Chains A and B, each alone.
Chain A
Amino acid sequence: MLEIKGLIKTFFPHTINEVKALRDIDLTIQEGSFTAIIGTNGSGKSTLLNAIAGTFIPDSGSILLAGQPITFWPEFQRAKLIGRVFQNPFAGTAAEMTIAENIVMAMRRGLSHPLSKAVTSKARAEIKERVSVLKMGLEDRLDNPIGTLSGGQRQALTLLMATWLKPKILLLDEHTAALDPKSAAKVAELTKYIVDKEKLTAMMVTHSMQQAVDLPDRIVMMHKGKIVADYQKEHKQRVRIPDLLATFDRVQKKELFDESVATLLREQYV
């Protein structure tokens, strides 16, 4: 479904602020798979999702999505293939518009007159049905402005809207991080439900080890712009939070392993 090869992105190259955000990333995501991306702050998780979404053009490397070479496509052109949800629950929706209007906008994404927000009765019935899946009682409040909802409710709706047209890939960037623990758990559970039900291909950046272990069927760990661990299939099944922490630990230890350590261990290790 998604094939990334040799992806490199350096911000502020050749300056003192140079950041090698992606260093030669190779990643293939199978159709219908759900992958968690974990890693320390600044390891390049968001940059990887941004590269897929087309926020910038990479320095080198290629991206193939659903058979299409999208590497040089502008962001708006890719939007038809991609659903996104960010951390901020207020980012994905328009506060002053009603729930129904927001959803109609999402339904028309990529159509010729995307800005018409009239809600036909046929659309209304479909909206009602799909919103009821959230089990938040929002189907009875379709004409309320979305700004009156809680962060958790808004994030659930954003998720629903992002997946309304069954995107080729769903990109979630810490989409539960700004929610209170109960809402976060609810949105996480909904994510799993929708991804499974719609058989979506999804990538989810998260700092929650629990989510990474519970929800997806693959865990990719990043560090300093590289993929340093990749748990799939039976490896994923047996991995637990302490294993992930141990791997983080190992990666960091490897970094501290310099020439002086090598010399020391050459003498001392028997």
Chain B
Amino acid sequence: MELVTEKKGAIFIVRAKGRLDASWTDFFTEAFLEFIRQGEHDLLIDAEGISFLSSAGIRSLVRIHKDLTKLKGRFRIVNANEFVVNTLQMTGFGVWIEKKAEADLVAIHVADAGGDLPADCFLIEKNAEMKLSIVNHWAPWEKADGEKLKTIDYQSVTFSVGVGCPQGSDSENQTMVGDFMVVAGNILFQSPEEESRPDFLQPLENFVPKFRVLQAVEAKGNISHLIRFKPNAETQNFSVSALIEKCHNLLQSDNILFVILAESDGMVGAQLIQSPTFISDSMSVEGIGLREWLSFTGERAFVGDQVLAVGVASLKPNQPLEPLLRQTSKDEAWFSHIHAAVFPYQPIQNGLLDLQTQLSRFLNGPPPKALMHLINDQRPEAGLGQTRFSRGAVWCSAIKMEETL
């Protein structure tokens, strides 16, 4: 038995040659379980070279199929000879046989737009794009009283980063302005109180989440592409700027909205720990005094946790976007504003992934542990660099800039 493998988009093709009988099934099963373990969940066996299939061989195929089903994977056989096709059909496993394989192979897969990162790209909605707006503006560390807050309704097409607080009685909530993010209408926020945990507001049938916003950049529209990435021998992890660059290659746009759902390989970020509404006229937040207002991760934090991040990135930001973006990394030209929520690790399936489904899965699962504003730490000695991810998904869309901006 000889196995030759090839990767086509998300599909992992195994060309098998020889007899699949009792003496080869252990080898065959183990080889396939290893493919699955390495994340290959869309398996296609090219059976042209399989000359014989015994009951032991079928048992092996059943086992592989079972493991893949658990992972919502796909298992198909193409090009089998008449004997193998008949054997499978008579034993009730005819459904695995795929007739016109090649056409199917290209259907979901978009040609990789270039770049050297190991990633798969999918087209979700052709020509989908986003419109940008600055909802409210506050520059740290201006005095920020409650009257400045604007109440915003969040619809499912809205993506945003900023600072604000949930709606409620004024006197209480004025003191609660903290970092927040909006992903497809779901608001995730962190009150700046010492003991508070991140919380969220999910749009339900008749419930449109509202939020009181002190500062926010917002993009409205649909997602056009999905990128799936995972490490290989050359690339162990993916920096935020590398993922943005990948979106750029795909979208051919200088302004990008992106949502990342990925396993963290070290987060670097800061978080408001006191509401800016407490800044008074006489006060100036200076020097080390900043630590009463912001906390900093101080190390590459939350490695191995699952992160949901949303951000706006631009190559040449102009007014009024420019003051709200910062350089994403030292060497690259991107400017961005990114907020991220950290969830306990949950595996995510390979291949095409629906953002709404994943959002409701994470928001209905174990609660987020932290929410932060990502920081590019380029301090000369102690610098932690930028946030990195090991594997996951990026949904993205081009942002269409309007003249009024």
Residue positions of A touching B, CB distance < 8 A: 229, 235, 238-239, 243, 246-247, 250, 252-254, 256-270
Contacts and interface: CB of A to CB of B under 8 A. Distances in A.
A69 to B, nearest CB: 34
Main secondary structure of the interface of A (DSSP, over half): helix
Nearest to B298: A256
A270 B337 contact: yes
A260 B382 contact: yes
19 contacts: A247-B194, A250-B194, A250-B295, A253-B295, A253-B296, A257-B288, A257-B291, A261-B296, A262-B288, A265-B290, A265-B296, A266-B290, A267-B326, A268-B377, A269-B294, A269-B373, A269-B375, A270-B139, A270-B326
A259 B287 contact: yes
Interface in B113-144: 139-140
Contact of A265 (B197, B270, B378, B382): B270
Given A254-B295, A270-B140, A270-B215, 18 more contacts: A243-B197, A250-B295, A252-B298, A253-B295, A253-B296, A253-B297, A257-B288, A257-B290, A257-B296, A261-B379, A262-B288, A262-B290, A263-B379, A265-B294, A265-B375, A269-B375, A270-B139, A270-B325
Interface of B: 139-140, 194-195, 197, 215, 270, 273, 287-291, 294-299, 323-326, 337, 373, 375-379, 382
Nearest to A267: B326
A243 B270 CA distance: 19
In the complex, the 8 A-B pairs of residues with the closest C-beta atoms, listed nearest first: A256-B298, A257-B291, A262-B290, A253-B298, A268-B375, A260-B379, A261-B296, A268-B326
Contacts, number: 76
A257 B295 contact: yes
A161 to B, nearest CB: 38
Contact of A264 (B139, B323, B375): B375
A239 B298 contact: no
A265 B353 CA distance: 35
Given A243-B195, A256-B296, A269 B270 contact: yes
B323 A270 contact: yes
Given A229-B194, A265-B375, A268-B375, A259 B288 contact: yes
Contacts of A239: 195
Contacts of B289: 262
Contacts of A243: 195, 197
Contact of A258 (B140, B197, B288): B288
A215 to B, nearest CB: 20
A55 B101 CA distance: 83
Nearest to B217: A270
A6 B140 CA distance: 36
A268 B298 contact: no
B367 to A, nearest CB: 10
Nearest to A263: B379
B195 to A, nearest CB: 5
Contacts of A250: 194, 273, 295
B294 A264 contact: no
A235 B324 contact: no
A54 to B, nearest CB: 34
A253 B273 CA distance: 12
B126 to A, nearest CB: 33
A269 B382 contact: no
A250 B373 CA distance: 16
Contacts of A253: 295-298
Contacts of B296: 253, 256-257, 261, 264-265
A14 B312 CA distance: 54
A268 B387 CA distance: 14
Contact of A235 (B195, B273, B294): B195
A131 to B, nearest CB: 42
A264 B377 CA distance: 7
Contacts of B291: 254, 257, 261-262
Contacts of B325: 270
Contacts of B139: 270
B379 A247 contact: no
Contact of A268 (B194, B287, B376): B376
Contacts of A260: 379, 382
A266 B294 CA distance: 10
A269 B382 CA distance: 18
Contact of A269 (B140, B323, B379): B140
A268 to B, nearest CB: 5
A252 B373 CA distance: 19
Contacts of A269: 140, 270, 294, 373, 375
Contacts of B298: 252-253, 256-257, 261
Contacts of A247: 194-195
Contacts of B287: 259, 262
